[in-house]
Amino acid sequence: MHTGSGSPTSNGAPTFLMCPPDYYDIEYEINPWMSRRRQTHPERSRQQWQALYELLLSVGAHIELMDPVPGLPDLVFTANAGLVYQDKVFLSRFRYAVRQRETPHDEKWFREHGFEVVHLPEGMYFEGAGDALFCGETLFAGYIIRSDIRAAQWIGQQINKRVIPLELVDPYYYHLDTCFCPLRPGMAMYYPEAFDEYGRKALQTHIQTLIRVRPSEAARFACNAVVVNEHVVLNTGCPELENTLRDHGFQPHSTPLDEFIKAGGSAKCLTLQLR
Ligand code: ARG
């Protein structure tokens, strides 16, 4: 089940980090999707997570696992542990104290698996791959709601990559990966209303083919998809996007993830690309 850490995979398929939902729950409210009055169903969460895990394996992804920790309900959202670049991980600095407690566990995992752990300068918030996504060689960075613009710029300097900052204007789309998803170099899908005029222009300028996601499907976390070569894994209830993806030569695979939408996350948030 585990792939050898540090070793490149043989078939060019990506490796993801996931964390089982043993302690997943709604214990606090840090985004508009979360309500302590709308609790999760542990059994359904478990089944949905397991189905996602198996679906990703079936399309050729490799998966490594992190141990769940009691009292850290959002640890399942491994996308926020940090941003991995080659053998380095830029560790997150969470905005909210409730999630800052995840960081020592993330750091331990990365160290034990051979990553060079890089800490951002003090005082810069950064929520990892939730707010920093590569499309080709360019790093697209969401900011203001969770991450600071300076954090992505700092990372861009360390790895010598161009950074395109995108201000997030809708509190429901508080991480960039809730409203933007790179599909391949030069191609991505996005929910335009989550960005300001400047952000939309920046995306249109730097990405040749941009697929627009309609509001009702964006609210089903259509953009929070995991891309494994030509396969796109996403929540159910996004038929229009699925058709558009097929038209572009992709193979969409939907699997129910509504238990995780209660916390403001879906397929992509539950994974962190390692290699
Ligand atoms: N409840 C979590 C939070 O608000 C959800 C994180 C979702 N992760 C993501 N990459 N969008 O922080």
* pLDDT above 70 (res 4): no
Which of these ranges, 8-17, 126-135, 137-146, 166-175, has the smallest mean pLDDT?
A: 8-17
Mean pLDDT for the stretch of residues 166-194: 98
pLDDT digits (tens, 9 = 90+) for 98-118: 999 999 999 999 999 999 999
pLDDT of residue 3: 40
Residues with CB under 6 Å of ligand 1 are: 30-31, 34, 74, 77, 79-80, 99, 130, 175, 177-178, 263-265, 269
Can you give the pLDDT at residue 12? 79
* 3-state secondary structure labels for all residues of 88-144: EEEECECCCHHHHCCHHHHHHHHHHCCCEEECCCCCCCECHHHCEEEECCEEEEEEC
Residue 175 annotated among the catalytic residues of the structure: yes
pLDDT of residue 80: 98
pLDDT tens string 213-268: 999 999 999 999 999 999 999 999 999 999 999 999 999 999 999 999 999 999 99
Task: Give residue limits of the domains in the chain.
Answer: 15-273
Catalytic residue among 62, 175, 231, 253: 175
Q: Quick one: 129 exposed, middle or buried, by C-beta within 10 A (0-12, 13-18, 19+)? A: buried
Residue among 80, 99, 179 to mutate when testing ligand 1 (max atoms within 8 A of CB): 80
Distance CA 201, CA 53 (A): 36
Q: How confident is the model at residue 11 (pLDDT cuts 50, 70, 90)?
A: low
Residue 46, φ and ψ in degrees, nearest 5: -60, -45
| pTM beyond cutoff 0.85 | yes
Q: How large is the average pLDDT for residues 172-192?
A: 98
Q: Where are the alpha helices (DSSP H) in the chain?
A: 42-58, 97-100, 103-112, 149-159, 197-206, 215-218, 239-247, 258-261
Query: pLDDT class for 275, splitting at 50, 70, 90?
Result: confident
109-154: per-residue pLDDT in tens?
A: 999 999 999 999 999 999 999 999 999 999 999 999 999 999 999 9
CATH topology of domain 15-273: L-arginine/glycine Amidinotransferase; Chain A (3.75.10)
Side-chain-side CA neighbours of 168 within 13 Å: the count stands at 26
